[in-house]
Amino acid sequence: MPSYAEFPFSQVDVFAPGPLPGNPVAVVHGADALTTGQMQRFANWTNLSETTFLLEPNAPEADYRVRIFTPADELPFAGHPTLGTAHAWLTAGGQPRDKGELVQECGAGLVRVRAGGQSGAAEYAFAAPPLRRSGPVEQATLEQAVASLGVDPVRVLGSNWVDNGPGWMGIRLDSAETVLGLRPDFAAMGSLNLGVIGAYGAGGPADYEVRAFVPSLAVPEDPVTGSVNAGLAQWMRWEGNAPENYTVQQGTVLGRGGRISITNEADTTWVGGACRTVVSGQVTI
């Protein structure tokens, strides 16, 4: 007979300016005894875009270690799980070495997180990690991506690899309205993971609208995505196609209203938003 154990559990809404508009992440606390297989099976069961597992750190400078799973695979880094896990760790009584900043250890290395509070809705921001892959997208791959999005190529203003772990390709379109009108063909998209951004005009609900498509990881469209916004922000900053600081709305087509803030300080891009605990208790794994 298989053996089971109980673990403290949190479900946190991330990039959520109000009740329930953001992207939930499931967080299992004190998960050091779980195997990789157990973690993956539980992440598949939650059926959220990501589930995380809090572990004791290996790096002496880290406050905690986290493993991040989609329903189908493990990721070295992801943005909304980073903020949601930081919030869950603090809310459960975690004490950071630095009161103003956490250090998270994950597959991508060490990630700095600014902590905005320990209860209720609090603001957090992570320092965008270096891109693992950047540069121009190969023409055939770009043509596949554009065709899978069902968008007229004349509306594509630019593209670039913006991969900080999940394999992102960034595509910049001519407007937020074009982004909202996309009707992607996930079969045609194949293994591509696409982040698409377009600007709002004056008076819009935010400066940009973003959508993120990850069918290869069993997440056809992610509601609100920190990692892709981090990569898009770094790319657009390098090319001079965005202001230093701006806001993003994401999840509109899915009935969400995620809100992300991008702030550039010196050489660091900070990706921020509000977090709130929605579910807390025990889970049996």
Residues marked as catalytic: 50
Question: DSSP string spanning the chain?
Answer: -----EEEEEEEEES-SSSS-SEEEEEESS-TT--HHHHHHHHHHH-SS-EEEEE--SSTT-SEEEEEE-SS-EES--HHHHHHHHHHHHHTT---SBTTEEEEEETTEEEEEE---SSSSEEEEEEPPPPSEEEPPPHHHHHHHHHHHT--GGGEEEEEEEESSS-EEEEEES-HHHHHT----HHHHTT-EEEEEEE--TT-SSSEEEEEEEGGGTEEEESS-HHHHHHHHHHHHHHT-S-SSEEEEE-GGGT--EEEEEEEETTEEEEEEEEEEEEEEEEE-
**And the tokens for 206?**
């935010």
